[in-house]
Structures are given as structure tokens and as C-alpha cells.
Amino acid sequence: MNPIKTLASTALATTLAAGLSTSAPAAAGDPVKIGVMLPFSGIYAQLGEAGRDGLRLALKQRVDQLHGAEIEFVELDTEAKPSRAPELASSLLNQHKADFVIGPVHSGVAMGMIKMLRGKDTIMIIPNAGSAAATGPLCSPNVFRTSFSSWQPSYPMGKVALDKGYKKVYAISWNYGMGRESLDAFAESFEAGGGEIVEKVLLPFPSTNFQSHVSDIADEQPDAVFTFFAGGGAIKFAKDYDAMGLRGKIPLLGSGFLTEGTLEAQGPAAEGIMTGLHYAEQLDIPENHEFREAFNTEYGHYPDIYAVQGYDAGQAIADTIDQLGGDISDKQAVISTMEKLTINSPRGAFTFSKAHNPIQNIYLREVKDGVNVVQTVAAQALEDPARGCRI
């Protein structure tokens, strides 16, 4: 952990806590401690910052609903390093005695945190990591997720492909949790409907040497390609696909992360890519418009999916505190209150499943003029099957 960052975040936390407390009556008991475990440096820093900004915005907006409870933030930088996750989570649990822990971005870090926090009194809210295990075999009463499971954005795309008449699909991703789970989820609905995966390629993460594979796709001529790539890999894949002359000839489908935060860098190469995701910036509902404007006013730029997920973690906390009248000392009450929440998310309202994963809409988006345009709701109120979870 970077000492300067600790210092800075403590300072920020104090300022924010002070800001919140001036606008609210004096708290009855101890402040509500929110431990934030997100990457503020390294390759996922941008995602971590967005989640943190969303979280803070929600708690700032809903200060009246906190019944005078003061909020205190403790922010730790995970640097997206799974090896340090148990240690950091343990410090939030034992040393800081956090009531809520928000984090992380990276699924590997999530596994390390869950190991520490499962079954404890501290409530863990995952604002990104989509690993199936978190709300599957490793699910726990005190672990909630405000993002998605890896299964959710990809499963509906199998049906989308069938509806469009694609019978033979070439599937390609990285050989890691998110990649394998995304391809499997797609195959599940696609093969059930009679589709055939003609080739399934799993590349070592984070290799971006795609040129030989797009050549292979050109040679194979499938009806469509389904893929999970994110970040730099997503940009590179779309560009290589386009440069090979495949765009417009063989439709490219994917989990929404293929075009999230990457559209600008992909440029025209992204045009026509169809993806499934639980959010779209253009989503035309009042909650989304209000959120986007409020976020822009606060931070000077428009929010992304990661900010939405962090915002909803904040909303979940504020709603819970509100419904409990500001007293969160009974952790069982906190959990059962949270389980029953309906979160008015910018993505559309959602509730938590038994495994504590959002039951949410998955939108089919298509890139047009550099924007993920919502085509239709690919799956209404989709619930993750939560295989292996026993709550």
C-alpha cells in the first residue's frame, strides 16, 4: 500500500465525513465505517476510481436518509493484486472494524477478500468482479453484489445469435475465469437452441496477439463470432478484426465489456459490434438521466458502468441505514433489510437474488456512430442460476 495514497485518502475521508456531518444532526452512536478496497493504481485504476466516485456520490446525495449517521471512509488500494487481498481485507475487518466493505474490481482479489470476510459481521458489497463463485459456491449471507455475474451478460447473447439466424459461431476469449465463464454461458443458451460452436479458442491472459486468430476466422467463415475481451485486449481485438476485413462480413458479438470504456480507442472498428450488458449509457430512463447529470456536475465528466455499480453499492447502504432508522448494530437485521431492497439503479430497478446477485435486465446494444445504442432488452429481470450456492 502506497503510504501517500493512504494519507491522501484518509484526508479525503475525513473531509467528506465532516461535510456529511455538518448537514446532518449529530450521530447517536458510532460512525458507519465503510472500507473501500479498490484499485487506485495499476491497470484497473480507472475502474477503481469510477466505483469510488459513484459510491461517494450516492452517500452524499442521500445524506438525509442516513438519520444522522456519520460516514467514515477507509480506503485501501488493492492495485488489483490478488496476493495482497486477504491481508487488506483482514485489516478492514479486524483493525478498522468496518461495517461495510466495498470492493473489489478484480475477480482474483474478490476471492481473497471473500475468504476473509465470509460469514463475518461486516457486509461485503462487490461493485464489479463478476466471478461466478462469489454468488455461487462461495456465496455467503453477508456478501452482496451490485454488479453482475459473468453468466448474466453472455447467456442472453446465445438466444440473440439464434434469433438473428446464426447457426455456426466461432468463440474466442482469454483462458481465465471471466473468459471461460462468458463463453460457457453463451454456449449454454446457444447450443440448447440448436446452435453449434465451430471453434472455441482460449488464449493465455493477457495475450493480445490476435492477428493469427482473425486470419483463422477469415479462413473458417463462421456465421458469427462471440467473444469476451476487455480493456486493451478489447480494443486490439476489434481493430484486428476490422483490419482483416471481417467487420460487416461476419457479425461480432460479445459480452458488453468488449465496448465499455473502449469505444473511443476502437474508433470506427467498433461499428456494428453487438453486446449484452446490464447497462448502457444511452439508457432512456429518468434514473439514468438524473444520475448522469449529477455525476457530471460533481466530477466534471460522465459516468461509466463502473461508476453505476459503485453508486448502487452506495444506494444499497443508504437505503439499508434509512430503513433501519440509522441503527445498524444488528447485523442480521442489516442483512435481511438489504435482501429485500429494490435499488432504483440508473440501469433500471433491481432486486437481489437469494444468492445476493442483482436480478436485472440485460440490454442488447449495438455500436452506432461510436455509441452503444440500446436495441432491445435481451433478457428481462435475469437471475443468475447461482449454481453451488446454499444460503
Closer by beta carbon to other proteins, 268 or else 325 = 268
Q: Count residues near other proteins (CB under 8 A).
A: 42
Distance CA 90, CA 288 (A): 35
Helix ranges (DSSP H) in the chain: 3-22, 45-61, 85-90, 107-117, 151-163, 177-192, 211-220, 231-243, 263-266, 286-299, 305-323, 331-339
Residues in a beta bridge with 362: 379
13-42 positions binding other proteins, by CB under 8 A = 41-42
Q: Which of 27, 138, 197, 201 binds other proteins (CB under 8 A)?
A: 201
Please report how close the Cβ of residue 360 comes to other proteins at its closest, in angstroms.
26
Q: Which of 1, 12, 16, 45 binds other proteins (CB under 8 A)?
A: 45
Distance CA 197, CA 365 (A): 22
Q: Is 218 in the site for other proteins (CB under 8 A)?
A: yes
Other C-beta atoms closer than 10 Å to the C-beta of 209 total 10
Q: Which of 83, 221, 296, 329 binds other proteins (CB under 8 A)?
A: 221
HSE, CB side, 13 Å, CA atoms: give it for residue 288.
Answer: 13
Closer by beta carbon to other proteins, 281 or else 384 = 281
210: left (phi over 0), alpha (psi -120 to 50) or beta: alpha
Q: Is 235 in the site for other proteins (CB under 8 A)?
A: yes
Closer by beta carbon to other proteins, 191 or else 216 = 216
Q: Which of 17, 27, 31, 46 binds other proteins (CB under 8 A)?
A: 46
Q: Is 203 in the site for other proteins (CB under 8 A)?
A: yes
Residues in a beta bridge with 188: none
CA end-to-end distance (rounded Å), the chain? 34
Q: Is 211 in the site for other proteins (CB under 8 A)?
A: yes
* Residue 67 DSSP one-character state: T
Q: Is 43 in the site for other proteins (CB under 8 A)?
A: yes
Give the per-residue contact string, 263-282, with other proteins (x = CB under 8 A; - = no): -xxxxx--------------
Please report how close the Cβ of residue 304 comes to other proteins at its closest, in angstroms.
10
Q: Is 248 in the site for other proteins (CB under 8 A)?
A: no
Closer by beta carbon to other proteins, 239 or else 292 = 239
Nearest to 273 by CA among 248, 298, 292, 295: 248
Other C-beta atoms closer than 10 Å to the C-beta of 14 total 12
Q: Is 310 in the site for other proteins (CB under 8 A)?
A: no
Q: Is 209 in the site for other proteins (CB under 8 A)?
A: yes
Q: Is 227 in the site for other proteins (CB under 8 A)?
A: no
Other C-beta atoms closer than 10 Å to the C-beta of 116 total 20
Q: Which of 104, 158, 233, 256 binds other proteins (CB under 8 A)?
A: 233
Distance CA 64, CA 21 (A): 10
- Within its chain, how far is the Cα of 378 from the centroid? 18
Q: Is 360 in the site for other proteins (CB under 8 A)?
A: no
Q: Is 391 in the site for other proteins (CB under 8 A)?
A: no
Which residues form the interface with other proteins (CB under 8 A)?
41-46, 175, 201-204, 206-209, 211-213, 215-216, 218-219, 221, 231-236, 239-240, 243-246, 261-262, 264-268
